[in-house]
Amino acid sequence: MTSAGERLLQKVSATRVFARVAPHCIPALDRAVHRLTRGKVLLSARMLPGVILTATGARSGRPRRTPLACLPEEDGGWLLIGSNFGRPGHPAWTGNLLKNPEAEVNWQGKDIPVRARLLTGEERARAWRAALALWPPYAAYQARVEREIRLFRLERR
């Protein structure tokens, strides 16, 4: 059951204004606080579970750290949703995982090696339903864009 505050936060996060502002503020704050607390605090995780994904850049070959909302799974893996806050274009981290699926997540202060797999078909449909149950604004994000939002399953290596 969601509280009135959670419903308000979900309503605000589904707006176009949020989609314009949030990508410039939330990841930068998350990275700074995560670094200052030595991996113990991720601000956005107060709304949704979150990880810091370290993936190899598709073009640069350099490590790229990205704070992301996630859906922890019962088997110890994670589902990542490439919503890009409902903006056009896939987020860069999804292209990085497509080219270099071996990555690492920082989950609750621990670095864990993972392998990413793009979901398709019925597996994607099940994961999408789970993502919507976690965060209903994903439906508004998908409605705003022509692309299909990429979903990845991260499995521990």
Q: What residue ranges of the chain have pLDDT lower than 70? A: 1-2, 39-40, 42-47
- What is the enclosing helix (H) or strand (E) of 2? none
Domain membership of residue 13 as a residue range: 4-156
Q: Cα separations (Å) of 65 from 72, 79, 90, 101, 134?
A: 19, 17, 16, 14, 23
What is residue 2's predicted lDDT score, i.e. its pLDDT?
Answer: 64
CATH number for the domain that contains residue 102: 2.30.110.10
Ramachandran category for residue 39: left, alpha or beta (phi over 0 → left; psi -120 to 50 → alpha): left
pTM of the model: 0.81
Local structure of residue 116 (DSSP, 8 states): E
Please give the tally of structural domains in the chain.
Answer: 1
Whether 150 and 118 have beta carbons less than 8 Å apart is answered as yes
What is residue 46's predicted lDDT score, i.e. its pLDDT?
Answer: 64
Q: Report which of 80, 97, 81 is spatially closest to residue 148, judged by C-alpha positions.
A: 81
Collapsing DSSP states into helix, strand and coil, what is residue 110?
A: strand
